[in-house]
Amino acid sequence: MVRALLLAALFALPLAAHTQEPPYFVTYDHHLEEPGNLEISTQTTFGLQKQQLPTFVAPLLEVEYGWNGWWTSELYLEGAGQVDDTAVFTGWRLENRFRPLRREHRINPILYFEFEDVNEASRIRKEIVGHAEQTGESLAVLRRNKAREVEGKLILSSNVRGWNISENFIVEKNTTEAEAVEFGYALGVARPLATVASGKDCHFCRENFIAGLELYGGLGTTDDFGTSHTAQYIAPALVWQINASNSVKAETAFGLTHGSDRLLLRVGYTYEIAGFGTMVRNMFKGKQ
């Protein structure tokens, strides 16, 4: 069923080039940060909930660094606010991605590990796991409930004739509570609007735009595995590579199940500093 949905999406949309920022907000492909480069990103998720629950906004700051060709680390700082409620800091996450195979293959695996120190006010919807849980409690109350979680992902990604197809399987465990292990998934297909450069020096050429489609949701827990009582989303996305350092992207995620939010609107901006590691090393050498 999963492969069928991906193939249907492939022919339904023109969708990501791999030297550019991918359009995905949830799905990961196999491309790591270039060694020595620093990438700073901001993402904001606006959520329209069901059952007359308040609309929320969840900002996220990401700092990503490429240690070498097979290891990338990323730090996340997140917050949340709701209509007729308060704004709170919801925690931080530290992520590491490792590429076990150096060369490009038909299917490229990435191993992903993340530690999360967050609270129950978190609204960024960075991944969807387990069963759907909706609450009308205020963020000020929810932030008192801390959660230290460990998360792993198996990322599989392929480049086929200009297309990217990525599949993520997610496992998450709350270490502060005696809870079951939660599962989730994320699938993505993407392609540039033009695979051949126009030869023009322009910001709005078709090759600077990559369209994509994501499908993601929960797969239950070790106590109750499956898609019943879970949140599921389908999300068309678009990224605009303004130049070599700057890109912006946007996505609209539509909830497919009763436990999903009605709509998630996501926007993001990325700035990449090439050769950041070299600049820092040169600065320290100059002081010696």
pLDDT at residue 180, rounded to an integer: 95
Q: Domain count of the chain?
A: 1
CA pair distance 65, 73, nearest whole angstrom: 6
pLDDT at residue 239, rounded to an integer: 98
Q: Are 28 and 110 in contact (CB under 8 A)?
A: yes
Name the residue among 52, 43, 212 with its Cα closest to residue 123. Answer: 43
Query: What DSSP line would sit under 46-96, residue for residue?
Result: EEE-STTPPPEEEEEEEEEEEEETTEEEEEEEEEEEETTS-EEEEEEEEEE
pLDDT at residue 288, rounded to an integer: 64
Task: State mean pLDDT over 129-148.
Answer: 92
pLDDT above 90 as % of the chain: 81
Predicted confidence (pLDDT) per residue in 12-25, tens digit: 333 333 357 899 99
In this predicted model, which residue has the larger pLDDT, 9 or 192?
192
Predicted confidence (pLDDT) per residue in 259-279, tens digit: 999 999 999 999 999 999 999
Helix (H) or strand (E) holding 228: none
Task: State mean pLDDT over 113-130.
Answer: 97
Name the residue among 210, 272, 267 with its Cα closest to residue 241. Answer: 210
Task: State mean pLDDT over 209-219.
Answer: 98
CA pair distance 237, 273, nearest whole angstrom: 24
- CB contact set of 124 (below 8 Å; sequence gap of 6+): 43, 45, 58, 60, 78, 80, 90
pLDDT at residue 69, rounded to an integer: 94
pLDDT beyond 50 at 1: no
Q: Could you tell me the sign of the dihedral formed by the alpha carbons of 141, 56, 47, 43, in that order?
A: negative
pLDDT at residue 264, rounded to an integer: 98
Range of the domain at 179: 2-287
Q: Are 264 and 47 in contact (CB under 8 A)?
A: yes
Confidence of residue 51 (pLDDT cuts 50, 70, 90): confident
In this predicted model, which residue has the larger pLDDT, 196 or 136?
136
Q: Given phi > 0 = left and psi -120 to 50 = alpha, else beta, which region is 262? A: alpha
CATH of the domain at 22: 2.40.160.40
Q: Are 18 and 32 in contact (CB under 8 A)?
A: no
pLDDT beyond 60 at 5: no
Predicted confidence (pLDDT) per residue in 146-172, tens digit: 999 999 999 999 999 999 999 999 999
CA pair distance 247, 268, nearest whole angstrom: 8
Q: Given phi > 0 = left and psi -120 to 50 = alpha, else beta, which region is 71? A: beta
pLDDT at residue 134, rounded to an integer: 84
Out of 40-49, 124-133, 202-211, pick the least confident. 202-211
Predicted confidence (pLDDT) per residue in 52-78, tens digit: 899 999 999 999 999 999 999 999 999
Name the residue among 131, 180, 130, 190 with its Cα closest to residue 157. Answer: 190
Q: Are 111 and 100 in contact (CB under 8 A)?
A: yes
β-strands 56-68, 38-48: how paired? antiparallel
